[in-house]
Amino acid sequence: MTVETAELVDRIWSRDPSVWTGGDEAQWLGWLDEPLRMHERVHELLDRFSRVEFERVCLLGMGGSSLAPEVLKRLFRVDAFETLDTTHPSAVRRVEVDGTLFISASKSGSTLETRSHTEYFLERVRNGDRFVAITDPGSELERLASERGFLDTIHGEPTIGGRYSALSPFGIVPAVLMGVDVHRLLDRAEEMREACRLDVGNPGLELGLELGAGPDKVLVEGDFGLWVEQLLAESTGKQGRGLVPVRYGDTDDVQRPDFRVGDPYEVAQEFFRWEFATAVAGSILGINPFDQPDVQAAKDKTNELLSRGGEPSLEPEGDLDELFAGAREGDYVAILAFIDPARERELTPLVDKARATGRPVSVGLGPRYLHSTGQLHKGGPDTGLFVQVVDDLGEELPIPGQPFGFRTLIAAQAAGDFEALKERGRRIVRVTL
């Protein structure tokens, strides 16, 4: 349904679901008021953590629970903070335990990767008071935190989806632990929130109209682009349409919106501006920007493979040159790398080869991208040329309470997504790094 621009802002703020599909959208608009709610909680959060001693923080989370903290860490250059959003055994082994405060972050509380990380480090640390949970009320993670004596459990806002949670506890608690001035951060967010109520000169509206009416590829560069990528792709990539975030692209079918993060504190404004803009673009595209109907496909395949026992095969499959030779106008190349994140730079020759097709290129690390662009790959337009990349997974690393370890888990995630994409008729090959 097309909504007149003059009405759009008022109808979004009045929580009118007919702006989109008339479905359950009104239940997922808590992000509109979250900067105000979080400002009221800041003193409480600062007080909670002022007496906690730690040398470093490791956040265990995926997608919407990890990408905003990762962007904050990079923009504010906080070396003593890391996010673990991979199940690659090499990366899990590198996490230092001594002096580390762990944050287990999952809205549902049942995210497989986060629960596996949490059980693994709980066994190594053997002290629940080195853990903080961020989760929605009543979740499985909240129950675990209570049973294992976590230092604290911080509740998220149930009316906010994961990818809209940057200005909720999922982004603000990590910011507190990084030593960021969260009062100042939220002040900037509230400035943008007020600007996004305007009929004229509304930054979120203007960006959303630009995104919704422009070409379907969107260039997302730099550190902030990591977060925008998951917001755009998971929100809009469904019903055969969607905005495709790409890291490289200079063709006519690529938009180049601006990111305003010259000052790290401006990121709070950008979080809200892009959230509002994505809601506007979703209205133009005629989709529900707050659901993710196709994400479950890869999860189901992964669980099916894990239930069979044994490790799925990740042998090379398909012909890369043949795939690239078939690139058509309107296509994009998606490199899906289930590799140790420390080896990401080794993808450069493959990226260069993909760019030589003349088509825009996106790069995603697995399993992180399954919680961001994975929805778009399956539910969005059939214009992707997919290249799955795997590396040496090393020795198995057991997960307490599970019949499989991290090596088997990431192999099943790679194989499961490969099968899910093939079932949808997507063009895909697998290569070894």
Domains of the chain by residue range = 5-32+196-285, 34-185, 296-432
Task: State both tokens at 348.
Answer: 């450069």
pLDDT-based confidence at residue 2 (cuts at 50, 70, 90): very low
Does the pLDDT of residue 287 top 60, yes or no? yes
Spatial distance between the Cα atoms of 162 and 62, rounded to a whole number of angstroms: 9
Burial class (CB in 10 A: 0-12, 13-18, 19+), 16: middle
The angle that helices 267-285 and 182-195 make with each other, rounded to 10 degrees, is: 30
**First-residue to last-residue Cα distance in the chain:** 45
SS3 content of the chain, % helix, strand, coil (to 5): 50, 15, 35
- The partner residues of 133 in beta bridges, in order of sequence, read 104, 153
pLDDT (0 to 100) of residue 294:
78
Spatial distance between the Cα atoms of 363 and 369, rounded to a whole number of angstroms: 9
pLDDT (0 to 100) of residue 4:
72
Q: Which amino acid is at 406?
A: F
Tens of pLDDT along 259-272? 999 999 999 999 99
Task: State both tokens at 19.
Answer: 């702006």
pLDDT (0 to 100) of residue 374:
93
User: H or E element: which one contains 236?
Assistant: helix 222-236
User: Mean of the per-residue pLDDT values for the chain?
Assistant: 95
Instruction: State the CB neighbour count (10 A cutoff) for residue 198.
Output: 12
State mean pLDDT over 151-156: 97
* CATH code of the domain occupying 296-432: 3.40.50.10490
pLDDT (0 to 100) of residue 297:
77
Does the pLDDT of residue 96 top 80, yes or no? yes
Q: Map residue 250 onto helix, strand or coil.
A: coil
Sign of the C-alpha dihedral, residues 136, 242, 70, 203? negative
* Identical topology for domains 34-185 and 296-432: yes
In 113-194, DSSP assigns E strands to 131-135, 152-155
* CATH code of the domain occupying 34-185: 3.40.50.10490
Rg (alpha carbons) of the chain, rounded to whole number: 21
pLDDT (0 to 100) of residue 1:
39
Spatial distance between the Cα atoms of 187 and 196, rounded to a whole number of angstroms: 14
Spatial distance between the Cα atoms of 68 and 165, rounded to a whole number of angstroms: 8
- Asked if the bond preceding 349 is cis, omega within 30° of 0, the reply is no
Task: State both tokens at 225.
Answer: 């682009």
Tens of pLDDT along 294-317? 778 778 889 999 999 889 999 999
Tens of pLDDT along 366-385? 999 999 999 999 999 999 99
Burial class (CB in 10 A: 0-12, 13-18, 19+), 131: buried
Does the pLDDT of residue 97 top 90, yes or no? yes
Maximal C-alpha separation, the chain: 60
pLDDT (0 to 100) of residue 3:
55
DSSP 419-431: HHHHHTT-EEEEE
Does the pLDDT of residue 124 top 50, yes or no? yes
Q: What is the DSSP letter of 389?
A: E
CA distances 215 to 236, 242, 251, 269, Å, are 13, 10, 10, 25
Spatial distance between the Cα atoms of 84 and 183, rounded to a whole number of angstroms: 26
CA distances 197 to 17, 33, 335, Å, are 17, 12, 38
Cite the DSSP H helix spans in 289-395: 296-308, 320-325, 348-355, 374-379
Q: Which amino acid is at 240?
A: G
